[in-house]
Amino acid sequence: MLQMKKIKHQVLNAKQHQREAEIIAEAGKPGTVTIATNMAGRGTDIKLTPESKAAGGLAIVGTERHESRRVDRQLRGRSGRQGDPGSSQFYVSLEDNLMRLFMPERIARIMDRLGLKEGEVISHSMVTNSIERAQKKVEENNFGIRKRLLEYDNVMNSQREVIYKRRRNALHGERLQLDILTMLFDTCDDIVANGKAAENF
């Protein structure tokens, strides 16, 4: 889009390690347009020139809202750092994944009833609150996934410890007789349990 409008810009992404410092050094100059992914340029300050400060500082324009509120805050935090002036504005479409998955249908219906046209700006608190709720739901889901993964990992770790303990004993010749007898007992126990289950059918 910027190329079509012939607006000079720089693209900063996580792949451009060599040019990252150079692009960030340019980003604080007046009239500079820098497109950045949410992963690029983190942990680096954009130094503003006096002209940029006088013009209002760094302006952050977000083209969508992220699933995580933390990432949105990080992007907002790039402007107005260490007392510098700055502003941030995020745009979201009702067709974005976050909105399609989590926004109640009634909000879309209300927007239709209000007669809002395609591309018209909606800055109602109801939409903002819906985005916040959607982000909270995604964060809760992600937390649940991480928690479940940790539980599975704990089970795998317990099994690993048992196997490695037996392996270590076998390598050092310790507790061999006891381990073999335990395995024989477990195998016999399984055979008896399976035989009883077959008789019951």
The answer to whether 132 touches 72, Cβ cutoff 8 Å, is no
Query: What's the token pair of residue 124?
Result: 């109602």
Would 22 be classed as within a structural domain?
Answer: yes
The per-residue pLDDT for range 145-179, each reduced to its tens digit, is 999 999 999 999 999 998 898 888 888 888 888 88
Q: Residue range 134-142: average pLDDT?
A: 88
Would 97 be classed as within a structural domain?
Answer: no
Bridge partners, 100 (sequence order) = none
Would 98 be classed as within a structural domain?
Answer: no
The answer to whether 91 touches 61, Cβ cutoff 8 Å, is yes
The answer to whether 100 touches 34, Cβ cutoff 8 Å, is no
Rounded to whole angstroms, the maximal C-alpha distance in the chain is 89
Would 96 be classed as within a structural domain?
Answer: no
**What one-character-per-residue DSSP string does 111-147 give?**
HHHTTPPTT-----HHHHHHHHHHHHHHHHHHHHHHH
> Domain range spanning residue 194?
156-200
* Domain count within the chain: 2
Would 60 be classed as within a structural domain?
Answer: yes
Would 149 be classed as within a structural domain?
Answer: no
The per-residue pLDDT for range 75-130, each reduced to its tens digit, is 787 777 778 898 888 888 777 888 777 766 767 677 777 777 766 777 777 777 87
Residue with tokens 């964060």: 139
Mark which of 91, 126, 142 sits at the end of a domain: 91
Would 123 be classed as within a structural domain?
Answer: no
CATH number at residue 54: 3.40.50.300
The answer to whether 136 touches 144, Cβ cutoff 8 Å, is no
Mark which of 91, 114, 143 sits at the end of a domain: 91
Distance CA 36, CA 75 (A): 10
Mark which of 67, 91, 115 sits at the end of a domain: 91
What secondary structure letter does DSSP report for 14? T
Would 82 be classed as within a structural domain?
Answer: yes
Quick count: other Cβ atoms within 10 Å of Cβ 100? Answer: 12
